[in-house]
A = this chain, B = another copy of it.
Amino acid sequence: MTDTKPDSQKPDPDNVSNADGDRGPTEAETLESIARFEGPGLSGDFVELVEQALYDENQQRLDVLLSALDPEDIADLLGFISVGDRRQVLAVLDRDALGEVLPELDEGVREEVLALVEPRQIAEVIEDLESDDAALLVEDLGSAQRAEVLAAVDPEERAVIESALGYEEDSVGRMMRREIFAAPDFWTVGQVIDHMREHGEELPEKFYEIYVVDPKLHPIGAVSADQILRKPRATPLSAILEEDAQVVSVNTPEADVAYIFEKYHLFAAGVVDEDGRLVGQITVDDVLDVMQEQNRRSALSMAGVTGSGRNVSILGTTRSRFWWLLVNLFTAVLSAWVISWFEDDIARIAILAALAPVVASMGGNAGAQTMTVVVRALATKELTSANTWRTLGRETTVGVINGIMFAALTAAVVILWRHDTRLAFVIAVAMVANHIAAAVAGAIIPIGLSRAKVDPAVSSTVFVTTVTDIVGFFAFLALASLMLL
């Protein structure tokens, strides 16, 4: 009982016939241990075995190797290998395996992999999936392929998918599962159990709570599966339902859903449409994915990387990073222009050219610290209008204290190095000024962007660095020009 592995992926003795006959299962176990060699992820050694089989075009061996893997590992594997190799792997997967692998792929990889699969095959797979996974796949299809796939699935399934795609990207309507178990409040525990025993097949594959609804399908509460198990058969649902159960609207942004699930420790939440009718549910496993995707985007976007960052073509990656670098070139040239105002001073005291970047760089780092804390606090809703001023005051105080300490340290370095106390004084004053600018800009810029509904994770870095560069260079060089020349 250690690995989750659906039966379709279980090592099949027939497939290991190329190994030495009756020792087949041993090979399967060996393969599994190779796959897990580096921890819960797929090991590099195993990927090498697969790549060897692909290179040899040994389909039988490939089949044996893939049989040792979970669908989740096969999805990872598809991310690691080249497009040509992906075709070979896909050819080995049967319909069930494909249905388990496709929803597990990373966003960027999924688009590329789906382009390699026949629309008819995708349509077959989709009919086996739950509504949220089905919508996920269709979302990632090219428009021509999407039309073909939708034409091939049955009309009911198609209507469900099209309605999901009608909701905004990153909203609950897109991610919810339409399969729910709803019951009227006059039902008893016994009726629920009988219903489940009779209609178990039609009910959602897995669920955590039963939604209790009124005749108009408006939710009036939820009962968790374990509560049903604890109560006598005659207990009416109305007596045990949790009235305060969280319900989200189809239009709720994904980010708010993640926040609500984390805050209230939810496993599932009902979803209502604009008229307040129960139309689906969100489960925590999907929220986990949303959360990781948000964290990924936010981490990458602070460094000016858009998209998934990996698993996109080299040209696509180059292009996505180009724009950020272009903005940075603009601000770097701006700083160069500020420095050029002091060309005559630098020609006379060239060491200014070596020291000015120290002031700018320390401000940049201090600003990045404040900015990162503030961006993170905004994302997790720890920073609200309730504590904006306190945060600003706090960051400025930290900036002043660290500014003074680094002013002293840098001045000491300059005195030891250049034996010039006036130069040391100039750099110390510029350092304090830039640390304060860094703290204020690092806090105000993301807060301001967030109020203006611009994602602070994406845009803050450029603005903050521009401020600390320009203040740093200008404060130091202007002061030097006044005091030393």
Q: List 15 A-B contacts (CB under 8 A).
A: A4-B264, A192-B229, A196-B226, A197-B231, A206-B226, A225-B225, A225-B229, A284-B288, A299-B302, A309-B376, A321-B369, A326-B409, A336-B354, A336-B358, A350-B350
Tell me which residues across on chain B come within 8 A of A310, comparing CB atoms. 373, 377, 382-383, 391
Is B243's CB under 8 angstroms from A1's CB? Answer: yes
User: Among B3, B385, B410, which residue has its beta carbon within 8 angstroms of that of A329?
Assistant: B410
Is A230's CB under 8 angstroms from B322's CB? Answer: no
Considering only CB atoms, which chain B residue lies closest to A315 in the complex? B401
Question: In the complex, A9 Cα to B358 Cα: how many Å?
Answer: 54
Q: Given A42-B384, A372-B303, A402-B321, A357–B360 Cβ distance below 8 Å?
A: yes
Q: Is A145 an interface residue (CB 8 A)?
A: no
Question: In the complex, A145 Cα to B231 Cα: how many Å?
Answer: 41
Q: Is A463 an interface residue (CB 8 A)?
A: no
- Oligomer copy total: 2
Binds B, one of A115-123, A135-143, A165-173, A337-345: A337-345
Is A1's CB under 8 angstroms from B221's CB? Answer: yes
Tell me which residues across on chain B come within 8 A of A70, comparing CB atoms. 264
Q: Is A317 an interface residue (CB 8 A)?
A: yes
Question: In the complex, A32 Cα to B172 Cα: how many Å?
Answer: 24
Q: Is A47 an interface residue (CB 8 A)?
A: yes
Tell me which residues across on chain B come within 8 A of A102, comparing CB atoms. none
Is A350's CB under 8 angstroms from B357's CB? Answer: no
Considering only CB atoms, which chain B residue lies closest to A377 in the complex? B310
Tell me which residues across on chain B come within 8 A of A351, comparing CB atoms. 340, 343
User: Among B39, B221, B358, B398, which residue has its beta carbon within 8 angstroms of that of A333?
Assistant: B358
Q: Is A482 an interface residue (CB 8 A)?
A: no
Q: Is A56 an interface residue (CB 8 A)?
A: no
Is B325's CB under 8 angstroms from A244's CB? Answer: no
Tell me which residues across on chain B come within 8 A of A354, comparing CB atoms. 336-337, 339-340, 343
Is A386's CB under 8 angstroms from B300's CB? Answer: no
Is A288's CB under 8 angstroms from B285's CB? Answer: no
Q: Is A287 an interface residue (CB 8 A)?
A: yes
Question: In the complex, A208 Cα to B208 Cα: how many Å?
Answer: 7
As a 0/1 sequence over residues 1 to 41 of chain A, the CB contacts with chain B under 8 angstroms (1 = contact) are 11111000000000000000000000000000000001111
Question: In the complex, A72 Cα to B200 Cα: how many Å?
Answer: 36
Tell me which residues across on chain B come within 8 A of A469, comparing CB atoms. 357, 361
Considering only CB atoms, which chain B residue lies closest to A222 in the complex? B1
Question: What is the CB-to-nearest-CB distance from A49 to chain B, in angstroms, rounded to a whole number?
Answer: 10
As a 0/1 sequence over residues 48 to 73 of chain A, the CB contacts with chain B under 8 angstroms (1 = contact) are 10000000000000000000001010
Considering only CB atoms, which chain B residue lies closest to A388 in the complex? B44
Question: In the complex, A310 Cα to B390 Cα: how many Å?
Answer: 11
**CB-CB contacts below 8 Å: A346-383 with B:** 346-348, 350-358, 360-362, 365-366, 368-369, 371-373, 375-377, 380-383
Q: Is A305 an interface residue (CB 8 A)?
A: yes
Is A317's CB under 8 angstroms from B208's CB? Answer: no
Is B350's CB under 8 angstroms from A244's CB? Answer: no
Is A206's CB under 8 angstroms from B230's CB? Answer: no
Question: In the complex, A343 Cα to B347 Cα: how many Å?
Answer: 9
Q: Is A260 an interface residue (CB 8 A)?
A: yes
